[in-house]
Amino acid sequence: MSTARRVSGALALSALALVGACGGGSEGNQASPETSVETTAAVTTQPATGDSLVAQARGDLVQVYATAAEDQPTVALDSPNENGAPLVFLVEQSQGDWLQVLLPVRPNGSTGWIRAADVQVATDPYRIEIALAAHQLSVYERDQLIAEHPIGVGTASTPTPGGKYYIKELLEPPSPDGPYGSYAYGLSGFSNVLDEFNGGDGVIGIHGTNDPSTIGTDVSHGCIRLTNDAITELVGYLPLGTPVHINP
């Protein structure tokens, strides 16, 4: 595998479309947000215990194969993605010149194989654990708990889907007083009950809100709500590719 780099998140802005399945606070007119995350950091040859591996596209597309032995790809994914963010994957395992990665496509949990030469591989020490019933988001740096925040989650009719995902993009809405608050992370997962929302394709996200009174309740269309202070804190250090485990 190619040399891995440690990643950290730093904002760069470009115009985007809105996260597809999120229910914000007051859902009035919703303008287009902005985003992008730049990955930079020190070089390391071996990931530390507890680190994840994140692969970022080198070129303008990455071909995905069903197995490492296939000759023809099953799909080709563009970079940047439809929202202007760099295409990233969470690496599940490596096999010679190939990487098995979690894909940002339906159905949730889809994986595929990509060529290691098509991506840059970086290490990420962070992960997010979400407890839906407890309405709590926890952030770990390797095995150390470094942050806990109360959250709002999906309703009974539009539940937040459980499973393993990763942060695929960072959006900055035009105003922190809008329904998505200061920032919104788009995840690699999708709503299981909504095929589209507000013109998007039902992507699940983690975002701020203009109505903090809804934190701690079942309120959204499937997204995870945080206070604006909490999401702004996370944006300060969580990079694209960070694993997100959504638990009951």
- Same domain (yes/no): 169, 97: no
Q: Among residues 124, 149, 176, which one ends one of the domains? A: 124
Query: Would 20 be classed as within a structural domain?
Result: yes
- Same domain (yes/no): 16, 130: yes
CA distance 11 to 105: 24
- What pTM value is reported for the model? 0.86
- Same domain (yes/no): 140, 91: no
22 an active-site residue? no
Name which of 127, 130, 146, 172 is nearest 12 in CA terms. 172
**Residues 96-109: tens digit of each pLDDT:** 999 999 999 999 99
Q: How many domains does the chain have?
A: 2
Question: Which pLDDT score, from 0 to 100, does residue 49 have?
Answer: 86
Query: Would 229 be classed as within a structural domain?
Result: yes
- Same domain (yes/no): 100, 207: no
Tokens found for residue 177: 């007083």
Question: Which pLDDT score, from 0 to 100, does residue 39 have?
Answer: 36
207 an active-site residue? yes
- Same domain (yes/no): 31, 130: yes
Name which of 52, 66, 27 is nearest 178 in CA terms. 27
Query: Residue 112 belongs to what domain range?
Result: 39-124
- Same domain (yes/no): 150, 213: yes
CATH value at residue 85: 2.30.30.40
From 135, 149, 207, 221, the catalytic residue: 207
Query: Would 3 be classed as within a structural domain?
Result: no
- Same domain (yes/no): 31, 97: no
Question: Which pLDDT score, from 0 to 100, does residue 48 have?
Answer: 80
Question: Which pLDDT score, from 0 to 100, does residue 195 have?
Answer: 84
- Same domain (yes/no): 46, 100: yes
From 22, 135, 149, 223, the catalytic residue: 223
- Same domain (yes/no): 220, 168: yes
CB 11 within 8 A of CB 188: no
CA distance 143 to 39: 23
- Same domain (yes/no): 173, 110: no
Residue 244: Cβ-neighbour burial (10 angstroms; 0-12, 13-18, 19+): buried
Query: Would 156 be classed as within a structural domain?
Result: yes
Q: Among residues 124, 148, 179, which one ends one of the domains? A: 124
* Per-residue model confidence as pLDDT tens for the chain (248 residues): 433 554 444 332 222 334 455 644 443 333 333 434 343 333 233 678 899 999 999 999 999 999 999 999 999 999 999 999 999 999 999 999 999 999 999 999 999 999 999 999 999 999 999 999 999 999 999 999 999 999 999 999 999 999 999 999 999 999 999 999 999 999 999 999 998 777 678 999 999 999 999 999 999 999 999 999 999 999 999 999 999 999 99
Q: Among residues 98, 124, 150, which one ends one of the domains? A: 124
CATH value at residue 221: 2.40.440.10
- Same domain (yes/no): 76, 172: no
- Same domain (yes/no): 15, 62: no
